[in-house]
Amino acid sequence: MVLHERLEPVYANVVERNRGENEFHQAVHEVLESIGPVIEKHPEYAEQKIIERICEPERQITFRVPWEDDRGEVHINRGFRVEFNSALGPYKGGLRFHPSVYQGTVKFLGFEQIFKNALTGLPIGGGKGGADFDPKGRSDREVMRFCQSFMTELHRHLGEYTDVPAGDIGVGGREIGYLFGQYKRITNRYESGVLTGKHLSFGGARVRTEATGYGCAYFVREMLAARGRSFNGMQVVVSGSGNVACYAMEKVHQLGGTVVACSDSSGYVYDENGIDVELVKRLKEVERARIGDYVEHRPAAKFVADRSIWEVPCQVALPSATQNELDAADAAQLIASGCIAVGEGANMPTTPDAVRMFQEAGVAFGPGKAANAAGVATSALEMQQNASRDSWSFEFTEQRLEQIMKDIHARCYATADEYGMAGNYVAGANINGFTNVADAMLRLGLI
Ligand code: NAP
């Protein structure tokens, strides 16, 4: 899609200054596509170079992470933290441990995070981090040593009022525990609010584990309701089988839908009777097994390797694994099979071509910035509880989460309407998130 003439040079400059960081270019382009009408209405944003400023991280940290495996062999990984924007609050965003992580991954995720966090209406800025470390096949002791080394460098950049990481791919409760332990040890401070996604036993919040997946299902429920539909009787496909996917599946079942397929990076399982979510959780979280092992416990199910999960017919699709996992060919299959709604549980899982195809076909499309914002929103609730040394019940926290997702849906819907793009949640999310950050930046002066 062509950009507004004032935004073309901004984008060209981003590509020039951040060479080879393709996902970052993609994420910037997607936001710039939406905000052409905004700078027509608010020329002050362009005059004050707000867009150029937003595209340049406030700070980027790259560091060496040396660690020793169980055999005594030394390994060197690379750690990253991008502190992108703190106009609305401390930098907030997860850490990803995956061999594919490089500067461009962290930059695209951090950029998206700015607008997602703004959209929640909570006081949090945007950041992201990670390392090119592969936790797969590593023992608990190895993961602990890696986390300790990673935090030994990162701790100097963190603080409950400065920068507050959480989990992401490859960083779950186990890793957050090791990271918090090392932070506490080095700083001699029990600063609970410095990390979120903590276990309940040391300052964690109820519903944080479930939040992103639950929130995604709630967001899609709202999109369906806006069209007079519900999850009742719907066949649903969810990619991935990690944190987001498992809890999205759980909530879809509670809301009356049936998830018939889920996946990991080795393939997908199809279970027409409905995926046994407890079994998937046990296999992936406890046994750290592969999704193919599911069929040993559910003989009626089948495992399909090396093919796209999006070939499975469904009315609702929730891509919840990783970026660019659903392309134009997948979108064509989904549209042909009668898909009416897509909610991005993952960050940027749908390629730009596929997004356009869904929109042109009239499929309700909920972008990750909106649909998966419940994770970070619940992290902000965890920070609130830590700051007041309080601990809320599961029911109360989930009610707040549900309301936050309803509000995000309403904001996206109303903003898209206001700018003449009714039903376009991508535009609604980008414009609402952008204007919240831009207005704060204007008031904060040239910083
Ligand atoms: P996770 O627990 O580590 O799970 C990731 C899942 O995706 C695993 O099932 C993994 O399979 C699968 N996967 C990874 N790369 C893949 C690939 N190339 N092809 C197919 N499957 C692949 O991570 P998560 O926390 O659920 O995060 C999933 C997505 O949601 C990410 O995009 C993340 O940024 C986004 N997100 C997460 C949160 C949160 O609160 N956790 C919040 C907002 C957004 P393997 O086991 O085979 O690797």
pLDDT in tens, 250-266: 999 999 999 999 999 99
Kindly report the pTM of this predicted structure.
0.95
- Alpha-carbon dihedral sign for residues 8, 358, 369, 281: negative
Task: Report helix, strand or coil for 199.
Answer: coil
Q: Is 31 helix (H, G, I), strand (E, B) or coil?
A: helix
Q: Give the per-residue pLDDT at 189.
A: 96
Atom 37 of ligand 1 has which residue's CA nearest to it? 168
Q: What is the pLDDT of residues 211-246, one digit of tens each?
A: 999 999 999 999 999 999 999 999 999 999 999 999
Ligand 1 mutation target, pool 100, 132, 265, 404, most atoms within 8 A of CB: 265
In the chain, what are the helix, strand and coil shares in percent, each to the nearest 5?
50, 15, 35
**E strand intervals along 123-229:** 126-131, 163-166
Instruction: Identify the residue whose tokens are 């989930």.
Output: 398
- Report the b/e string of 51-64 with b at 16+ CB within 10 A: bebbbebbebbebe
Q: How many CA atoms lie within 13 A of 62 on its CB side?
A: 10
Q: Is residue 380 part of a domain?
A: no
Q: Count the Cβ atoms, other than its own, within 10 Å of residue 400.
A: 16
End of a domain among 371, 403, 429? 371
- Tell me, what amino acid is at 404? I
- In this structure, the answer to whether residues 182 and 130 fall within a common structural domain is yes
Q: Are residues 346 and 300 in the same domain?
A: yes
In this structure, are 226 and 361 located in the same domain?
yes
DSSP secondary structure letter of residue 159: B
**Structural domain containing residue 316:** 211-371
Would you say 284 and 241 are in contact if contact means Cβ atoms under 8 Å apart?
yes
Q: Whose CA is nearest to atom 43 of ligand 1?
A: 372
Q: State how far the Cα of 363 lies from the Cα of 379, in Å rounded to an integer.
A: 30
Question: Distance between CA 294 and CA 273 in Å, rounded?
Answer: 14
CATH code of 77's domain: 3.40.50.10860
Phi, psi angle pair for 388, to nearest 5° = -105, 10
Is the same domain home to 46 and 83? no
* Residue with token string 């879809």: 252
Of 13, 89, 23, which is closest to residue 52 (Cα–Cα)?
A: 13
* 145, two tokens: 């040593």
Query: Measured between alpha carbons, how far is 97 from 99 in angstroms, rounded to an integer?
Result: 7
The C-alpha atoms of residue 201 and residue 222 are separated, in whole angstroms, by 34
Respond yes or no: is residue 128 known to be catalytic: yes
119 and 98 part of one domain: yes
Instruction: Give CA–CA dist 294/300, Å, rounded.
Output: 10
Residue 305 is assigned to a structural domain of this protein:
yes
Q: Look at residue 377 in the predicted model and tell me its pLDDT.
A: 97
- The CATH number of the domain where 280 resides is what? 3.40.50.720
Do the domain assignments include residue 274?
yes
Contact at 8 Å (CB) between 294 and 278? no
Tell me, in angstroms, the distance from the centre of ligand 1 to residue 353's CA: 22
Same domain, 41 and 62: no
Q: Are residues 159 and 250 in the same domain?
A: no
Residue 389 domain-assigned?
no
- Quick one: how far is CA 401 from the chain centroid? 16
Burial zone of 433 (CB within 10 Å; 0-12 exposed, 13-18 middle, 19+ buried)? buried
- Examine the domain organization and report whether 48 and 110 are in the same domain: no
d(CA 421, CA 19): 33
User: Could you tell me whether strands 235-238 and 163-166 are parallel, antiparallel, or unpaired per DSSP bridges?
Assistant: unpaired
Q: Which of 371, 396, 422 is the last residue of a domain?
A: 371
Same-domain pairing of 288 and 354: yes
Residue 262, pLDDT score: 98
State the Cα–Cα distance between residues 3 and 237, nearest whole angstrom.
33
CA–CA dist 223, 382 (Å, integer): 27
Identify the pLDDT of residue 1.
Answer: 78
Is 381 part of any domain? no
Residue 407 placed within a domain: no
Distance 400 CA to ligand 1 centre (A): 25
User: Which pLDDT does position 316 carry in this prediction?
Assistant: 98
Boundary residue ending a domain (371, 399, 427) = 371
The position carrying tokens 């994420």 is: 27
- Whether 413 is covered by a domain: the verdict is no
| Cβ-Cβ contacts under 8 Å for 402 (sequence gap 6 or more) | 218
**In the prediction, which pLDDT does 310 show?**
98
> Ligand 1 — pocket residues by CB below 6 A?
167-170, 212, 240-245, 263-266, 320-322, 325, 345-347, 372, 375
Predicted local distance difference test score (pLDDT) of residue 79: 98
What is the structure's pLDDT at 285? 87
Task: Clarify whether residues 261 and 185 are in a common domain.
Answer: no
Question: Which residue numbers in the chain have pLDDT < 50?
Answer: none
Q: 3-state class of 69 per DSSP?
A: coil
Instruction: Output the CA–CA distances (angstroms, integers) from residue 42 to 28, 36, 39, 45, 118, in the order listed.
Output: 19, 10, 5, 6, 18
Q: 3 alpha carbon to ligand 1 midpoint, in Å?
A: 31
54: nearest Cα among 118, 104, 140, 2: 118
Phi, psi (deg, nearest 5) at residue 159: 165, 150
Instruction: Say how many domains are in the chain.
Output: 3
Q: Would you tell me the crossing angle of helices 8-17 and 22-41 to the nearest 10 degrees? A: 160
Identify whether residues 111 and 247 lie together within a single domain: no
Q: Which of 92, 107, 116, 128 is catalytic?
A: 128
Are both 42 and 121 inside the same structural domain?
A: no
Percent pLDDT > 70 in the chain is 100
Domain for residue 352, yes or no?
yes
